[in-house]
Amino acid sequence: MIWAVLPAAGRGQRFGGDTPKQYLRIAGKPLIEHALTALLAHPRVAGAMVALSAGDELWPGWSELLGKPVLRCTGGNERADSVLAALRALPAQVGDDALVLVHDAARPNLRGEDIGRLIAAAEAAPDGAILGAPLRDTLKRAGRGRIVGTEPREGLWRAFTPQAFRRGALTATLAEAARAGVAVTDEASAMERSGVQPWLVEGREDNLKVTTPADLALAEYLIGRH
């Protein structure tokens, strides 16, 4: 059984404005609905757990979408706290060995083909797998606004979501990072701390995370295009 976990408790400070970005609409639907339906449309995904901020009044109150359960819980101060809360709130039938797909609510343009390839990689790998893509730009090191060096790009990837791990292992490793006071910005970095090497699955570059207003315009342009 595979469940999706969606951290959606952020405030979108870099985006600005009054409405948290996961509730901004493109192509007639809020970003979070695009993200949820992309995951639930995949035949292997059985349900979704969404982490919301405590005072969230914008959540549409779905208990199911596409005929699959949508559950909610309260998230935390950091993204990792929200993911940990959601993992703990999953129903008991999602066992410790079950795969969970953690996906940002602010990533609306996820394709089924990427979900399928990620699941296939994660099922074959004890340490999980994430979607990502190799860097394409030339990398400059900056010092007080000037270039002080050019860094080798080889072997560097950008990390996307979903990130696929076993429920029990991911819960334990996120709890340990929280106990140690270590900030982790994605699930893989928490797993890496415990010494494992998750697989990188090359995904579509149009699976972008909406961080700024320019990203929203780009997401709207890209959504539904192949």
- Binding residues for ligand CTP (CB under 6 A): 7-15, 22, 51, 75-79, 82, 104-106, 209, 211
Smaller CB distance to ligand CTP: residue 54 or 148? 54
Of 133, 151, 147, give the one whose Cα is nearest residue 205: 133
Size of the site for Mg ion (CB under 5 A): 1
Smaller CB distance to ligand CTP: residue 82 or 173? 82
Positions in 40-69 near Mg ion (CB under 5 A): none
Given Mg ion, ligand CTP, none, residue 166, with its beta carbon under 5 to 8 Å by kind, binds none
Provide the β-strand partners of residue 65: 68
Of 197, 191, 199, 195, give the one whose Cα is nearest residue 173: 191
Residue nearest to ligand CTP (CB): 10
Smaller CB distance to Mg ion: residue 10 or 203? 10
Smaller CB distance to ligand CTP: residue 89 or 125? 89
Which DSSP symbol is given to 23?
G
With a CB cutoff of 8 Å and minimum separation 6, the contacts of 23 are 30, 31, 32, 58
Smaller CB distance to Mg ion: residue 10 or 47? 10
Binding letters toward Mg ion, positions 81-110, x by CB under 5 A? ------------------------------
C-beta of 208: minimal distance to Mg ion in Å?
15
Do residues 19 and 212 lie in contact, with contact meaning Cβ atoms separated by under 8 Å? no
Structure tokens of 198? Answer: 């998750």
Positions in 3-32 near Mg ion (CB under 5 A): 10
From the number of C-beta atoms within 10 Å of its C-beta (0-12, 13-18, 19+), residue 208 rates as: middle
Do residues 65 and 37 lie in contact, with contact meaning Cβ atoms separated by under 8 Å? yes
